[in-house]
Copies of this chain bind each other. A is one copy, B any other.
Amino acid sequence: MGAMSTVTGFRWLTTEEQQSWRSYVTGTVLLQERLERDLREATGLSMAEYEILVRLSEAPDRRLRMTDLADRTLASKSRLSHQITRMAADGYVRREECLEDRRGAFAVLTDAGWERLVAAAPDHVQSVRTWLVDALTEDELSELGRLCQKVVDHLEVP
């Protein structure tokens, strides 16, 4: 497709940019799949479920408003609502109504959910360490974090 640039004047990616972009896509996809698979095999949880358990466990009274939880887990309200329905059926969370704002709803971590998280966390952390942290030097990991944060900031500001 690059040949078109001479005709249209459109700015394609340079060979080096393409290469970086390719490495980025491959790395993020493969790492994501590996972590997802590790977690699933070790604990039966998906990353989405794990993230929800973590966020609730960190919150005061282990409860968060649905919108708040959706923001923190990078999920849409719809996706989160379906997910919470499933996790409530499994007994890991429950819904509670919000008294201050009657439109609102809380998702609350149950004791079973807490136990599930405690049991799963070491496996997941080990997996992140094995496949990401140990793949890079300390400085490289910091730099990766910094670059990703730059991308985040650029996405949110423009």
Mark A residues whose CB is within 8 Å of B: 1, 4, 8, 10-13, 16-17, 19-32, 34, 57, 74, 117-118, 121-122, 125, 128-129, 131-136, 140-155
Q: Decide yes or no: A30 and B132 within 8 Å by CB, A122-B10, A146-B23 being known contacts.
A: no
Please tell me if the beta carbons of A136 and B151 are within 8 angstroms of each other in the complex: yes
Q: Give the CA-CA distance A10 to B120 in the complex, in Å.
A: 13
Closest to A8 in B: B122
- Other A-B pairs, 9, CB within 8 Å; known A29-B74, A132-B151, A136-B147: A11-B129, A13-B129, A20-B142, A23-B152, A27-B147, A27-B148, A30-B151, A31-B155, A135-B153
